[in-house]
Amino acid sequence: MVQFTPQPHDKPDDPGYEERLVAFEARVARGDKVEPGDWMPLDYRKQLIRLIQVHANSEICGALPEGAWIPHAPSLQRKLALVAKVQDEVGHAQLLYRAAETLGKPREELIQELIDGKAKFSNVFHYPAETWADVCVIAWLIDAAAIVNQTMMAEGSYGPYSRALKRICYEEAFHLTHGYDMCITLATGTKMQRDMLQDAVSRWWKPIMMFHGPSDKESKHTVQLMRWRIKLKTNDEQRQIFLKKYVPKMFNLGLKVPEEWDLRLDEETGKWLYNEPDWAEFISVVRGNGPVSEQRLRTRRLAHEHGLWVREALEAAAGGRPVPMPTAQRNRVAVEN
């Protein structure tokens, strides 16, 4: 992938910006992809970095609640599939950070900003996965919601992001099927299993309804993002696609949406109606005030810090840098520890 090269005159007051912008927007409107070496408005680049970074962050943070359940997965088949799924999420983060890097921001910096709480991650991973059924609901419904979003984004204007998303969508299809399979097993299982699943759905319904972001009435970024084909559908449109496809499947499994949502189908328009989520709460959660926001970031920080010696050592080994000789110090250090 070609690396980012700084492009001149990419800010609105720069000479020649307007003409370049017109040509750029015409290309995007034609459905042409933008590639790393191209001229692009600084704001386009910034918005994309922000978006891809949040997406990548969400993948590595999403690996935490599910990863914590790997030890307890209740059959060998579930265990294998869950490890593979969490592994895919780490793999997706790898692909996405790489796509963001082509816009000129190194991975180290992107990850550091997450750890420092300066970059966001998806609202859903600010909540704890309390039981095995939570893992099933995350794998089915949250991955379903994510696929709605990612399938759309894969048609977006930025080449490297779009390429990464095509592969991600392909892999998410396995996550979704596996998630559905796990939910069917619980929904057709014993009373304890059915209750466990319903509890998880009830607990997760709020974060799920918030997943696609604030309602169109409140979302500030949408208009420009859509003109630049960074985004192709509004938050509410995505939410409707998700509800249309998955609520009937949930009902079919005998699952209920908590009554306070007053979720109902408008037969005339085919739209699902519901009580609007509290978007102030959503904003607060993604800003780091969710039930387990702090633990998630703390965990990421610890993993990153604990891995530092490995990254440094392999770098040193590759660089052929002089290696300090083994000395009596070794014992001293060992004692201190």
185 binds other proteins (CB under 8 A): yes
As measured in angstroms, the least distance from the Cβ of 83 to other proteins is 5
Extract the runs of DSSP E, i.e. beta strands, from 32-176.
none
Q: Which stretch binds other proteins (CB under 8 A): 217-225, 228-236, 256-264, 319-327?
A: 319-327
Q: Of 42, 50, 54, 112, which lies in the binding site for other proteins, with binding defined by CB under 8 A?
A: 112
- Give the number of C-alpha atoms closer than 13 A to the C-alpha of residue 335, restricted to the C-beta side: 5
Residues 52-71 touching other proteins, rule: CB under 8 A, are: 60, 63-64, 66-68, 70-71
Q: Which is nearer to other proteins, 124 or 257 (by Cβ)? A: 124
Q: Which is nearer to other proteins, 14 or 312 (by Cβ)? A: 312
Residues 264-293 touching other proteins, rule: CB under 8 A, are: none
Q: Which is nearer to other proteins, 171 or 218 (by Cβ)? A: 171
Q: Which is nearer to other proteins, 131 or 224 (by Cβ)? A: 131
Contact between residue 207 and residue 127 where contact means Cβ atoms under 8 Å apart: yes
Residues making up the chain, counted from first to last:
337
Spatial separation of the C-alpha atoms in residues 261 and 114, rounded to whole Å: 32
Q: Of 8, 12, 117, 189, which lies in the binding site for other proteins, with binding defined by CB under 8 A?
A: 189
**Cα 117 to Cα 221, 269, 305, distances in angstroms:** 21, 41, 15
Q: Of 52, 58, 89, 178, which lies in the binding site for other proteins, with binding defined by CB under 8 A?
A: 89
Q: Which is nearer to other proteins, 15 or 309 (by Cβ)? A: 309
101 binds other proteins (CB under 8 A): yes
Structure-block tokens of residue 17: 């910006």
Residues 217-236 touching other proteins, rule: CB under 8 A, are: none
As measured in angstroms, the least distance from the Cβ of 15 to other proteins is 18
Residues 6-45 touching other proteins, rule: CB under 8 A, are: 35, 37-39
Q: Of 46, 72, 118, 245, which lies in the binding site for other proteins, with binding defined by CB under 8 A?
A: 72
Q: Which stretch binds other proteins (CB under 8 A): 100-108, 149-157, 203-211, 218-226?
A: 100-108
**Which positions from 299 to 318 touch other proteins by CB under 8 A, shown as an x/- string?**
x--xx--xxxxxxxxxxxxx
Q: Which is nearer to other proteins, 147 or 210 (by Cβ)? A: 147
Counting beta carbons within 10 angstroms of the beta carbon of residue 32, is it exposed (0 to 12), middle (13 to 18) or buried (19 or more)? middle
The type of residue at 182 is M
Q: Greatest CA separation found in the chain?
A: 81
298 binds other proteins (CB under 8 A): yes
Contact between residue 213 and residue 219 where contact means Cβ atoms under 8 Å apart: yes
Q: Of 4, 44, 97, 158, which lies in the binding site for other proteins, with binding defined by CB under 8 A?
A: 97
Residues 191-220 touching other proteins, rule: CB under 8 A, are: 192-193
Q: Is 24 left (phi over 0), alpha (psi -120 to 50) or beta?
A: alpha
Q: Which stretch binds other proteins (CB under 8 A): 138-146, 213-221, 255-263, 296-304?
A: 296-304
Cβ-based neighbours of 233, under 8 Å, separated by 6 or more: 152, 241
Rounded to the nearest 5°, which phi and psi values hold at 188?
-105, 15
330 binds other proteins (CB under 8 A): yes
Q: Which is nearer to other proteins, 262 or 315 (by Cβ)? A: 315
Contact between residue 125 and residue 61 where contact means Cβ atoms under 8 Å apart: yes
The closest of 95, 110, 90 to 164, measured between CA atoms, is 95
Q: Which is nearer to other proteins, 110 or 147 (by Cβ)? A: 110
Radius of gyration for the chain, computed over Cα atoms and rounded to the nearest angstrom: 22
Spatial separation of the C-alpha atoms in residues 129 and 78, rounded to whole Å: 17
Q: Taking each helix axis as running N to C, give the angle between helix 76-101 and helix 107-115, from 0 to 180 degrees, rounded to the nearest 10.
A: 120
